[in-house]
Amino acid sequence: MIQTPKVPAKAQTPDRAAPRLTCWFAGSLVGCAVVFAAAGASAQDTAEVIISHGFNEYGDLKYGPDFAHLDYVNPDAPKGGEISVSADGSFDSMNPFATLSGTPGALSSIMYERMMDTTDDEVGSYYCLLCTTLEYPVDQSWVIFNLRDDVTFSDGTPMTAEDVVFTHEIFREQATPSFRAGISQLVTGWEALDDYTVKFTFNPESPRRGRVSQMANAIVMSKAWFEETGARMDASSLQTSPGTGPYMVGNVDPGRQIIYQRNPDYWGRDLPLNLGRANFDRIRVEYFADSSAGFEAFKAGEFTFRRESSSINWATSYDFPAIRNGWVVQDTLDDGTPPGASGFVFNLRREKFQDRNVRLALGLMYNGEWTNENLQYGLFQQRTSFWENDRLRATGLPEGRELEMLETVRDQLPEEIFTEDAFMPHTSGDRPLDRANLRRALDLIEQAGFTPGADGLLRDENGRTLDVEFLETRQAFDRIITPYIENLQRLGVNVTYTRVDPSQYQARTQSNDFDMIYGVYGAGLQEGTGLTQRYGCEDRDDVFNPAGFCSAAVDTLAEFVTGAGDYDEMAAAVQAIDRVMRYEYFMVPTWYLGQNWVAYFDMFEYPENLPEFGLGHLDYWWFNQEKHDALIAAGALRR
């Protein structure tokens, strides 16, 4: 989907034609579709129309129209209590959509629900949340959402089709440039057919895959509030528009604290899709200067749930009194979601990084094995792919459907793509500087036109040094990046390490004013139109593409993704793209975890059958009042 800059009432089916009933088979489920035929209707209007409670791009839905609740929740989970988490840095806005203006607060989109909701135990399924059903023809040339007639915003006003249309229009006008361009190319028509029916018509030239799912992800906001306040989506603001979700803003202390509180009049509390979810009365976010300060605050009980990302903390620092007293639980939970494609990102907009040999040479100076064993306690794994999972990762030589797709762009690719195994990260020895890799890097850098001078610095034919600035904001990252920088200096690179505050970092990265950063590209188990927003040439300067990567071959292969007729076809196209991007080496791949490290005061509980693709600590965990009272009595927490 196009990424937004970063959730039983009677069906309201319009009386547009006399229906006839036919059956539609979707995976293991059998549903019914209504086909409309009207006098004078176009071929599009008389096509078979599917009516369903849910949607999956490739046909399979786990939950039928009459499911009682999601399998992985506790439908009887008690409501109440507070969970508190931390955030680093600061914030000066509560508008999550103004990504180019201000720094939005953590979770500041929590108030807004999407037309349809996804689940954590399926890939690519959407179920009606703000709608009762959706309708679409087989060719997905349009989609109609039949809205629930009982949805209200947190200010008590009803949500109607006019709010859906208004939100779509304001996103088209005021969202990030890449979103505006993408949605304008995809959606050519939008209208409220009545108070509770809205229709979107798609550009027939747009990829078929991703049309319905894009609008299933549409957020709905209050038209009346925007008209009354004159607020803009692209402007930083501490004001928040009312949403339809279970939480609303309770209190905001800019730069320090945000409290979200449950809406006592939340319209959707009894929906099967929502049972066992949104269990906390309050979600509190505490801000700290950095992760080190946040960790000390957690040990002191200033917030109660922590997702750990530091290996040194996880391995050595969880021995504080609250752990020894049994007040805090330290837990490792499975995580089946693909990890983000993380690594040291080259800004390809810089001339010095245009030569792949330069990028390869600089990458060879990163010693992932030594870093993991000596600085990260052997807790991580080396990332090899942009999609680190067996479904979408390229392996070995290309074959089958993947090879057929690559053949269509063979004239745009190096021969090695077809004759060598998928590019893998280099290996290094057990010393900080691997001398064999240093020799390889020197050979590559000389092929790129740089030679070492008398001072040991690399210079090009014009005598210019190879200058590289690393931009970072996290002090805790120093111990990881410093050995890499020292190795680059041994190679002859004139390296500077600039650490700035979060607001400066955001400003510089948003304006692409950097040489190298430690960055992350998103990855999913199912890809669609959002792939080109991250890796496409048209959006190479977008915030979702920090490297500014652009490849005509990848643009063409992405059309196979959006045009795929089944999951295997989509997977083959992603594998082909993965193979090309790994060869291009626009980021030095580093590590991934593949698990969730969590620590929390022992007053939270979670279902026994946590789903494969979610942790859900703010969603389907719950609060145990008796355990909380015991912690208070023991002095573990303040009242």
Distance in angstroms (rounded) separating the CA atoms of residues 407 and 75: 51
Span between the terminal Cα atoms of the chain, in Å: 44
Contact 263, 248 (CB under 8 A): yes
Residue 6 belongs to a domain: no
Low-confidence ranges of the chain (pLDDT < 50): 3-46
Q: Express each pLDDT in 88-113 by its tens digit.
A: 989 999 999 987 778 899 999 999 99
So what's the pLDDT on residue 389? 85
CB atoms near residue 335 (< 10 Å): 18
Residue 430 belongs to a domain: yes
Q: Which residues contact 550 (CB under 8 A, 6 or more apart)?
A: 348, 536, 537, 540
The DSSP 8-state label assigned to residue 624 in this structure reads -
Residue 421 belongs to a domain: yes
So what's the pLDDT on residue 31? 34
Q: Express each pLDDT in 546-555 by its tens digit.
A: 999 999 999 9
Q: How many domains does the chain have?
A: 1
Pairing of strands 282-288, 82-88: parallel
So what's the pLDDT on residue 101? 78
Range of the domain at 510: 341-592
So what's the pLDDT on residue 290? 86
Nearest Cα residue to 90 out of 246, 236, 229, 234: 236
Distance in angstroms (rounded) separating the CA atoms of residues 414 and 537: 19
Q: Which residues contact 483 (CB under 8 A, 6 or more apart)?
A: 367, 370, 371, 375, 432
Beta bridge partners of 588: 344
Residue 194 belongs to a domain: no
So what's the pLDDT on residue 1? 55
Environment class of 223 (CB within 10 Å of its CB; exposed 0-12, middle 13-18, buried 19+): buried
Helices (H) and strands (E) in the chain, counts: 19, 28
Residue 53 belongs to a domain: no
The CATH number of the domain holding residue 459 is 3.10.105.10
Q: Which structure tokens are listed for 215?
A: 């609008």
So what's the pLDDT on residue 43? 45
**Residue 300 region by backbone torsions, left for phi larger than 0, else alpha for psi between -120 and 50, else beta:** alpha
So what's the pLDDT on residue 478? 94
Residue 628 belongs to a domain: no
HEC assignment per residue over 468-486: EEEEECCHHHHHHHHHHHH
Residue 257 belongs to a domain: no
φ/ψ of 23, rounded to 5, equals: -100, 145
Residue 313 belongs to a domain: no
Q: Which residue spans within 526-603 are E strands per DSSP?
A: 587-589, 591-592, 595-601
Distance in angstroms (rounded) separating the CA atoms of residues 286 and 293: 11
